Amino acid sequence: MAGIDEIHAQAVRWIKEAGQRITQSFETILDIETKSSMNDLVTNMDKDVEHFFIERIAERFPDHIVLGEEGAGHDLEELKGVVWIIDPIDGTMNFVHQQRNFAISIGIVENGVGKIGLIYDVVHDELYHCIRGEGAFQNEKRIEPMKEAKLEESIVGLNAIWLTENKKIDKDVTAQLVREVRGTRSYGSAALELIYVATGRLNAYISMRLAPWDFAGGTIIIEELGGKVTDLKGNPIHYLKKSSLIATSPKLHEAIMERYLS
Ligand code: IPD
Ligand code: CA
Ligand code: CA
């Protein structure tokens, strides 16, 4: 099996190349379709980028498996071997409407354990990446370990939808959280919001419903920097299952869980 450094180097090369394909598409007219609802968008570029990775991975690492959001990869029942969990464009709505605030997200997991995380903020040419146990980087610059923040001084990433009537959480609980923290932000890309937690731009990110391709890359990077990622019951997240998610520093995790989620 290929070594971890080789897999990481190859992933870095491909994610940059995929980013170029996306920026070049800014000049073209996108083919936009809807998926589960009118607000769930997919474009020809989401599919193109997913295919791009699948083809290259199959050629270079034929024993690796791909789990991609757009479904062109493998159908998986368990996490055996090396699995690339790929969101070709996280923040498709932003990509379509704003041509910014989106990212490519990749988590590479070996036998269920996160080994390599990459999130590429294409428009800013900022690649966040790590190999488990070797520190995390923004381009070539090492990212400092995550710092703790007090609840009342923290900025929390949260989608406003969770302040409306919904089946996942009592909206009064989220409203109370919004009132008690210093501020909330909603960027429309889970991958970017996770990387903002990793780099201290946000102190926590909370979502009631995410898929493995939304959180795999970001979780691996956050954990590398000493952060904690669980579902809203405090259970470890699983790289094959959709779940709720809270990503933050360990003490703030405890504080939020105790005050709002227990
Ligand atoms: C979405 C974004 C969004 C999150 C949604 C995801 P997509 O991913 O990450 O911020 O709230 O749950 O589905 O569809 O743009 O890849
Ligand atoms: Ca996504
Ligand atoms: Ca996507």
Is the CB of residue 157 below 6 angstroms from any atom belonging to ligand 1? no
Q: How far apart are CA 139 and CA 136, in angstroms?
A: 9
The per-residue pLDDT for range 184-205, each reduced to its tens digit, is 999 999 999 999 999 999 999 9
Ligand 1 atom closest to the Cα of residue 209 is 12
What was the pLDDT predicted at 1? 60
Is residue 97 within 8 Å of 39, Cβ to Cβ?
Answer: no
Q: Which of 121, 83, 139, 107 is nearest to 221 (CA)?
A: 107
Probe target for ligand 1 pocket from 36, 42, 99, 210, with the most ligand atoms within 8 Å of CB:
210
Question: How much is the pLDDT for 73?
Answer: 66
**What number is the average pLDDT over the span 26-47?**
89
Of 209, 211, 199, 189, the C-alpha closest to 99 is 189
| Terminal-to-terminal C-alpha distance of the chain | 43
Per-residue confidence (pLDDT) for residue 112, from 0 to 100: 95
Residue 110, phi then psi, degrees to nearest 5: -115, 120
Helix pair angle (212-224, 190-198), 10° resolution: 10
**High-pLDDT (> 90) share of the chain, %:** 89
Q: Name, in order, each residue with C-beta under 8 angstroms of 51's C-beta and a sequence gap of 6 or more.
A: 72
Mean pLDDT, all residues of the chain: 95
